[in-house]
Amino acid sequence: MRSLPSRLRLSGRVALVALVTLTIVTPASAQFGGLKKKLKKATGDTAAPAADPTPAAGGSVVLTPDVINKLIAGLKAGEAERVAAAKEDTPYGRYVQAKQAYTESVSKCEAGRQAWAMKGDEKQVNKANALIEKSLAAGQKGDSKTMQMYQDSVSLLQGGPSCLVKDPKQPDTYYEMQREIDIRANSAAVKGSGLGSGEFAMAQERTMAILRAGAPSDVSESEKAAVTMKKTELEPLLWPQEKPKATAAKPAVQPAPTPQPTAPQVDPPTSADTKQIGACMSKNIQTHQAEVEELGKRAQAAQKAGNQAALMAIADTMQRIQMAGCMQH
C-alpha cells in the first residue's frame, strides 16, 4: 500500500494533466470569452464593440447602372475640388494659374512670330536688328539686365505681349501640396458618390479595367454593358490627362499657289569665297565670345523648359552674330 505522500503526489500529477488537457481542447476564444463576460458583469459594461469601417477582405461591388451613375457623380465632385484648388489664392493655386497662362502664351507668341515673319515689313526688320545690336553691346559690357531688356523688346516687336510671359518657378513643396489636393479630391469624390470608400475605390478599379479591356474574370456581361453605356462620360473623368482623339477631318481644298517671281540667278560661291565667309564667321564668334556663351546658356535653359519660341529667337540672334558682315565679301 502506498503511503499518503505518494498518493497525494499522484493525485497532483493527475490534476495537472487534466488541467493541461482541458486547456488544449478548449479554444482560446472560449476561454477569453468567458473571462470577458465575467469582467463585463463585474464592471457593468455591456456596450457592443465598434464596427470595423473597412470592407471585408475579398468583398466586391456589382457595377449596376445605379452604381456607375454614383461613380460618375463622385468623379465629377473630385474634379470640381481640383479645379477649385487651382483657383485658390495659395502657393499651389498661384503656380497652377501662372503655368496655365504661360502655356497658353507660348502658342500665341509662336503664332505672332510666324505672322511677323510672313509679313516681311522692312522697317520692322530693321528695328528688330537695331534692338539686337543694342542687346549685343550691352552684353559686351556685362550689363545682363539691359541685354535682357532689349531681347524682350525684340520679342515684343516680333510676337506681341504673349512672348513676354515667363515660365513660373515651381514651388519647392509642389509635390507635397499636390498630394494634399489629391486627398481632398478623393474625399470629395467618395462623399459625392454616396458610396463607401472601399466601394468607391473598387467600383473605380473595376470600371477602369473594363474600359481598358482587362476586366477580371468575375465581371458579368451586365456589368460590362453598364460601363460601356457610360464610356464617353467615364473616360474623361478617369483619365483627364489624356486628350480625346480628334475626329479626322476632310482635307480642305487648297487654293492654287500664287506664282512667285523668279529669283535672280546668283553664281555659286567659289572655294575662296567660302574660306572668306568661314574666316569672317570665326572672327565674329571670337569678337562676341561672351555674348555667344551667354546665349548658349539661355538656349539650354529654354530647351529644358520647352520654350520653343525663346529657343528660336536665341538661335536667330546667334546666327546674326555669326553672319554679321560676312555675306558682303
* Segment among 124-133, 173-182, 228-237 with least mean pLDDT: 124-133
pLDDT in tens, 147-176: 888 888 888 888 888 888 889 999 999 999
Position 311 pLDDT exceeds 50: yes
Which residues touch 178 (CB under 8 Å, ≥6 apart)? 92
- What is the separation, in whole angstroms, between the first and last Cα of the chain? 137
Q: Which residue has the higher pLDDT, 186 or 57?
A: 186
Please state, rounded to an integer, the average pLDDT across all residues of the chain.
73
270 — pLDDT class (breaks 50, 70, 90):
low
**Three-class SS state of 206:** helix
Domain ranges (residues) in the chain: 65-124+175-238, 272-329
How many helical (H) and strand (E) elements, i.e. helices and strands, does the chain have?
13, 0
The DSSP symbol for 160 reads: -
Q: What is the pLDDT of residue 122?
A: 84
Residue 52 has pLDDT above 50, yes or no: no
**Burial label, 326 (beta-carbon count in 10 A; 0-12, 13-18, 19+):** middle
Angle at alpha carbon of residue 233, lines to 229 and 235, rounded to 5°: 100
Q: Please say if the pLDDT value at position 265 is more than 50.
A: no
Stated pTM of the model: 0.52
Mean pLDDT for the stretch of residues 94-101:
92
Residue (of 163, 159, 167, 131) closest to 147 by Cα position: 131
Find the helix or strand (DSSP H, E) in which 317 lies: helix 308-323
DSSP H/E element including 181: helix 174-193
User: Is pLDDT above 70 for 296?
Assistant: yes
Assigned C-alpha cell, 62: 456589382
Provide, rounded to the nearest whole percent, the portion of the chain with pLDDT above 90.
33
Q: For 10-33, write each residue's pLDDT tens digit.
A: 344 434 334 333 443 444 444 444
Single-letter residue type at 289 = Q
